[in-house]
Chains A and B, each alone.
Chain A
């Protein structure tokens, strides 16, 4: 390291980013309702309190339905868009792809508000499906980005070679294209699931009476006695999120390595 000042700066920056997350497990195992130092002893009772909370399970079930459906829908849509944008030239392509990717930078607040207004104006009741609608909008750009890189690293002559050797377009897709983009599909499913699971604003605006996990956690902070249990839940969520993202990146890299590219950069 040539400049020790820069090294210190980097360290401070990383601490600022991640130290608060480290507090989650610390207080999840702390034997006190008060979230403050000094620690008063080790306990796993907050985890069992969390485990026995039926409304948490209800919120978790809702979140699984929303995030699972979102991941599948966004990935299917992303598959079409990525295939079209990497294989075909069509008028207005840049504009269309730009609009698909726009929700990535659009404030979620705006997405949530405008969707809410539109849904109410259309006379639709808020439900888990309206959340799924909003989440698909937010997650599709992630799916498109991941799958585009999977399709781009796929040499077009691989498809032609399979056709040339007697396979039909359908069997070519099954024997050559699918195995080579499969890691990208898995990565896209995992990322979309994670993004949807963590999302709060759209979930809060569009869920109606059905609480989702993120909204449930926010609600629990109103009752100080429930906070340590939320810390326990947060600890579990952090662990699961890290696991899912690591798995997604693993699959994405494996996909690129398979098709002969180098796994530089990285989406996450």
Chain B
């Protein structure tokens, strides 16, 4: 992997009249990376994608693609191609004509055109579908045609605008895997816009989580999940339990805390330290907590509590446990193993936990 970024966004601002859609986006996307823009609807992720594609002018800032400033470069002259949310398959053309649409201006002879269309269709698993009418395709097939059509020009960057949101769950999961494989095969930089945190975690090398036109956190999926830098990111990605805490002392990147329900412990402090008034919040993922068997020794620390709610999922059970001395329950996910019965509501339990899995928010 080289050091020159494929896409370099520097203080990108976008206004629609008075509405501030993008508030100073700065990020770099590496060549060959699977990059996701994740956020709730209205966070500006699609707007950002469209400014990279050239469908929207930016109000200020700079977008460079492969080192070249894109100011004033229209969409039809950018080295990017897009898979639209609606797929935008041309309904009056056949599958082959759709896929080969972008080749028109390359001045290829008919044989070369046919060869390239064939290769592209084969790549997305639609070999032999060329003569079909576009409107006779299923959702998944339209998606593949849109992919083949965008990839046939060998763009430097492929932009995907919520491409899987129109598919049912099973099809979506299958396409996720296929997209990852396809991206590895072609080696093109993919930028995916999605509001589905699970999809982003599954597919991406790195994820930018966006709220209200700003990037809240940009990191690889594991860091994003394990060490979210704000409560908002933590709540958006997966489930996070929060407990109030007070800072006892803080220094050299560590903080000593008194956590409600768990007691005193020492954790990593977020860069820049914590608010000075001493009150704060710690977060922990449901799977970092364990309900201990009777007599089982905790691997690290333990706390007592009462089961508030039981949600049985077959392979997993989610317990809401109210730790002694707290007023809101924490969620604990437990794998159901043979020989261990599911606990009842009101059962008294010991909860194993570890200070290393706690996230301290500023």
Contacts and interface: CB of A to CB of B under 8 A. Distances in A.
A104 interface: no
A157 B74 CA distance: 16
A223 to B, nearest CB: 53
A127 interface: no
A163 B85 CA distance: 16
B76 A160 contact: no
B84 A161 contact: yes
A153 B220 CA distance: 41
Contacts of A179: 92
Given A160-B75, A160-B82, A160-B84, A166 B91 contact: no
A259 B81 contact: no
A125 B80 CA distance: 60
B interface: dominant SS: mixed
Given A160-B82, A163-B74, A164-B81, A260 B135 contact: yes
A166 B85 contact: no
A35 interface: no
Contact of A157 (B88, B105, B150): B88
B82 A161 contact: yes
A259 B86 CA distance: 13
Interface string B68-109: 000000111100111011101011100000000110110000
Given A167-B76, A260-B91, A160 B105 contact: no
A180 B92 contact: yes
B55 interface: yes
Nearest to B50: A160
Given A260-B91, A260-B135, A168 B76 contact: yes
A176 B153 CA distance: 19
A83 interface: no
Contacts of A165: 76, 81, 101-102, 149-150, 153
Nearest to B81: A164
A197 B139 CA distance: 46
B149 A157 contact: no
A80 B88 CA distance: 24
A173 to B, nearest CB: 13
Given A258-B135, A260-B135, A164 B91 contact: no
Interface in A25-62: none
B86 A164 contact: no
A126 interface: no
Contacts of A176: 90
A250 B104 CA distance: 32
A166 B102 contact: yes
A162 interface: yes
Contacts of B101: 161-162, 165
A158 interface: yes
A224 B197 CA distance: 83
Nearest to B105: A166
B102 A157 contact: no
Contacts of B84: 157, 160-161
B53 interface: yes
Contacts of B153: 165-166
Given A160-B55, A164-B82, A260-B135, A155 B105 contact: no
A157 B163 CA distance: 13
Interface of A: 155, 157-158, 160-168, 176, 179-180, 257-260
Closest 8 CB pairs of A and B: A165-B102, A161-B88, A157-B88, A157-B84, A163-B75, A163-B76, A179-B92, A164-B82
